[in-house]
Amino acid sequence: MSQTNDISISKQAAEKINNIISSEKKDLMLKISVLGGGCAGFSYKFDLVDNSEQGDIIIEEHGAKVIIDEVSVPYIQGSIIDYKNDLIGQSFEIKNPNATSECGCGTSFSL
């Protein structure tokens, strides 16, 4: 497990992560992956996992832990993991400085 300071977690996202995990029966962490596909080329995948795998990056900020698989790290380097709650819904949001465009819903992007 390595650590990186180039990806950060907002206070709002940390609160939501901790809220979700506290409602589960076991100790879990949020894992973020980047997959090929989606309407803009790449998409974000969010999972709850109970352990990390070899090469995973663990970010811990504001009391929340997020795991990112090593293949996905270059695609979201420098990003802020945030949580939005607005009129159209609630969701995690990746504020990715590497993205050249994003789809309207914010779950897919292109480089």
User: What CATH number should be reported for the domain holding residue 33?
Assistant: 2.60.300.12
Whether 2 is in a domain gets the answer no
* CB crowding 54-82: b at 16 or more within 10 Å, else e: eebbebebeebbbbbbeebbebbeebebb
Tell whether the model's pLDDT for residue 3 goes beyond 70. no
Whether 1 is in a domain gets the answer no
Could you give the number of structural domains in the chain? 1
Beta bridge partners of 85: 90
12/41: higher pLDDT: 12
> Is 76 in contact with 108 (CB distance < 8 Å)?
no
pLDDT digits (tens, 9 = 90+) for 82-106: 998 887 778 888 998 888 766 655 5
DSSP result, 38-56: STTSEEEEEEEESS--TT-
**pLDDT value, residue 38:** 63
Half-sphere exposure at residue 55, Cβ-oriented, CA atoms within 13 angstroms: 6
pLDDT digits (tens, 9 = 90+) for 27-78: 889 999 998 876 667 888 999 998 999 999 999 999 999 999 999 999 899 9
